[in-house]
A = this chain, B = another copy of it.
Amino acid sequence: MGGHGYESGRLNLPFVGIPTFAKSPYIADWSQIEADAAILGAPFDMGTQFRPGARFGPRAVRDASTLFSFGHAGAYDHEDDATYLGPEVRIVDLGDADIIHTDTEKSHANIESGVRAILQAGALPVVIGGDHSVNIPCIRAFDEVCASGGPIHVLQIDAHLDFVDERHGVRHGHGNPMRRAAERDYVTGLTQLGIRNVSSTAKEGYESARAMGSDILSVRQVRALGREGVLARIPTGARLYITIDIDGFCPSIAPGTGTPSHGGFLYYEVLEILQGVAFAHEIVGIDLVEVAPDYDPSGSTQILAAQLLLNFLGFVFHARAHRATKIRL
């Protein structure tokens, strides 16, 4: 479903062809992953507390990703004077984890299996949700690689703290994942950016989060610190897992989500932080969640998600290739 360039037979315009992520090859057999990065859809939204629909996030983000798949031999960025995601970077699309309606536990288990398969293949897992609860099985899947490779730090972009321990018996909804992550012994801490306004986490949640190693910054606090100030607060050398809730962004560019919150990040604010961590840290996993496309008829939200993921992946693999060299950020 991809790989053709202008010189080969097809022009392959964005609206043409089966919409796998960035028109990358689809791999049905998860025991045969040979790639640098593997996309896994996690279309689960039973953990939502307001508007559902994130189950269509994977399809929407894949569709939108084709806009950025013009068939070049990589994507040239004139600001960085760099060509990202050239043919040397192998991206594959695994399709989606199997979801069992009414059954959170089984659905999460299937997501976990997918991430484990990617990690075992040595590829970077890139999970597209689904609601933020899909982060729970993603983090769970890291136990083995962390046992051998060392612990991880979680960098979260989000409007909400998502640090509820348990309420009415719920421990695996989209208000709980960061608490679940913090409980893992191979998670050394969290950097939580964009947190603002009233949410499902009460004061006790903030106190618990800080007690368990969280650094919590609002959008305004991030702006006051500046990109370098924020980057400096992430532990040096930490291996990073990045979890991006699209509602961390301003509803002006990400209205297609379940629980929008005004006052969020603009595009470059997040992109530049991601570019920073891509060059300064090893990125071990990524998830992007809460795109609910039916609330955004303009399609801007999924275009944001796809544009962000493709640029971030470009930074990650560019940095890996040039790790030894001093790089202009």
Chain A residues with CB under 8 Å of chain B are 1, 6, 9-20, 26, 28, 41, 43, 45-53, 55-56, 59, 62-63, 67-68, 70, 72-73, 75-79, 83-84, 93, 95-104, 106, 133, 161, 167-170, 172-174, 195-203, 206, 216, 218, 220-221, 250-253, 255-256, 259-263, 267-268, 271, 294-300, 303-304, 307-308, 310-311
* Residues of chain B lying within 8 A (CB to CB) of residue A218: 78-79
Contacts of A97 in B (CB 8 A): 16
Question: Number of copies of this chain in the oligomer?
Answer: 6
Cα–Cα, bound, A100→B300 (Å): 25
Q: Which residues of B contact A220 (CB under 8 A)?
A: 79, 268
Interface pairs (8), CB distance under 8 Å: A46-B101, A49-B101, A70-B198, A101-B174, A250-B252, A252-B252, A255-B300, A262-B308
In the complex the two chains form, is B76's CB within 8 Å of A206's CB?
Answer: yes
Min distance, Cβ A309 to any Cβ of chain B, angstroms: 12
When C-beta atoms are compared, the residue in chain B nearest to A200 turns out to be B70
B43 touches A16 (CB 8 A): yes
Contact between chains at A170 and B103 (CB < 8 Å): yes
Task: Say whether, besides A16-B98, A102-B170, A197 and B77 are in contact (CB < 8 Å).
Answer: yes
Contacts of A255 in B (CB 8 A): 298-300
Closest Cβ of chain B to A113, distance in Å, is: 10
Give the Cβ gap from A15 to chain B, nearest Cβ, in Å: 5
Partner of A26, one of B1, B84, B104: B1
Enumerate chain B residues within 8 angstroms of A1, measured Cβ to Cβ. Answer: 26, 28, 95
CB of A50 within 8 A of CB of B67, answer yes
Q: CB-CB < 8 A to A250: which residues of B?
A: 252-253, 267
